[in-house]
Structure 1
Amino acid sequence: MEVLSSVFIFFAGLWAGTINSVVGSGTLVTFPVLIALGFVPVTASISNAMGLVAGNAAGAWGYRKELAGRRNQLLRLLPASLLGGITGAYLLLHLPEVVFQYAAPALIVV
């Protein structure tokens, strides 16, 4: 990978992590950067998701006071989140790449 590409990815990751900590839409930064740098959509999506884990964890830690007292709400939302994540990961890994190539931009717009 070229040095310039690495620099773009590094700064896009920092920017996305910051955005995720506040509003949670950092993927709108990192995914298009990875696609623009020539990564295939499936690889870009997986890399994007793994790269933003630390930022999500830091954001949750930073907002821990706001989350206090919301245990019941979090527990109610957890099954849907797990089911959605598992279903999305399964589809990502088992459908032909061309499906994801068309679905990813549509999902990002929605």
Structure 2
Amino acid sequence: MTAVPIARSQDAVFGSHRLPMNRQLQEAPVVLAILDGWGHCESTTDNAVRMAATPNMNALWQTCPHTLIQASGSAVGLPDGQMGNSEVGHITIGSGRVVRQELVRIGHAIRDGSFQRN
């Protein structure tokens, strides 16, 4: 998962929204929406999500704080370049950290020799 950096100005950045540092944060409901299979890509070529009419999602995107996360490769405990899936994504989000998946753990064990000693 990629963290959003704090801007060098007096504003904090949350997704695409700016919050002045002198403004108090108030408790409010938070929604974690996981949209399996709903990737983010600006291109409309071969992109069903971008080609579809999505007025509700478009309105939420424009009016609500949001961020994007990396859901493949080492960001979710898989080898670099390996496509993620629902299971590893949910494990990563649920645990709040990267959990190395079996393929990565086996590869590491082969490289460090512990696989042969098992």
- TM-score of the pair, normalised by structure 2: 0.22
Larger radius of gyration: 2
More strand by share: 2
Work out which structure has the larger RCO, using CA pairs closer than 8 Å and 6 or more positions apart in sequence.
1
More helix by share: 1
